[in-house]
């Protein structure tokens, strides 16, 4: 893989999994500023260690493990502070995070991705604006020359459609 390809793969994986890793970090420390510092250090470490990542394996789990060690490093530096979680709590959070990325959640995520792909362009676009870009319903309505009520209905129906699609895919997988 060329450097450009490696950088592209890394950027795509970070973009896809950053919320998972950030959530883990934010749950592990008490201050947002500290969590942000740890996140920045984690990204640097992930890039430095990226050649050790095995493509096709669970990137979130690998990245969270790297973040775990960055949190430990941060905690050692902060040990003089009176507001630091003890190691047992960090271990419990790490364990729960690992369980979250079980086979079932990976199957559910895959089903969601497949169901999202099957949506028509309008519904995908509205979901993207609402969730990825964090646009308010009123903003989406303005862009689409629609009413807020219409956008709320699109979101509600699309969520319901996705729930049913995911459940159908998971039920189908259980029978195979």
pLDDT in tens, 51-62: 999 888 999 999
Q: Among the residues of 82-127, which ranges form H helices?
A: 87-100, 103-118, 121-127
Examine the pLDDT at 78 and tell me if it is beyond 50: yes
Q: What domains appear along the chain, each with residue ranges and CATH number?
A: 3-101 (1.10.1740.10), 105-174 (1.10.10.10)
What does the pLDDT look like over 24-66, one tens digit per residue? Answer: 888 888 778 888 999 999 999 999 999 999 888 999 999 999 9
Token pair 């490093």: residue:
73
Mean per-residue pLDDT of the chain: 85
Is pTM beyond 0.75 here? no
Closest residue by Cα to residue 64 from 110, 107, 13: 13
Phi, psi of 95 (to 5 degrees): -65, -45
């Amino acid at each position: 893989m060329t450097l450009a390809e490696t950088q592209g793969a890394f950027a795509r994986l970070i973009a896809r999994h950053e919320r998972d890793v950030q959530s883990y970090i934010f749950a592990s420390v008490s201050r947002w500023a500290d969590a942000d510092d740890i996140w920045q250090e984690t990204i640097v470490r992930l890039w430095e260690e990226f050649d050790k990542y095995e493509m096709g394996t669970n990137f979130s789990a690998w990245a969270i493990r790297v973040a775990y060690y960055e949190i430990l490093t941060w905690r050692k530096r902060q040990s003089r502070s009176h507001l630091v979680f003890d190691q047992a709590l960090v271990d419990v959070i790490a364990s729960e995070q690992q369980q979250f990325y079980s086979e079932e959640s990976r199957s559910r995520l895959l089903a969601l991705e497949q169901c999202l792909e099957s949506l028509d362009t309008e519904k995908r676009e509205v979901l993207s604006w609402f969730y990825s870009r964090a646009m308010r319903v009123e903003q989406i309505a303005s862009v689409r020359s629609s009413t807020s009520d219409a956008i709320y209905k699109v979101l509600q129906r699309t969520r319901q459609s996705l729930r049913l699609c995911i459940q159908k895919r998971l039920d189908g997988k259980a029978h195979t």
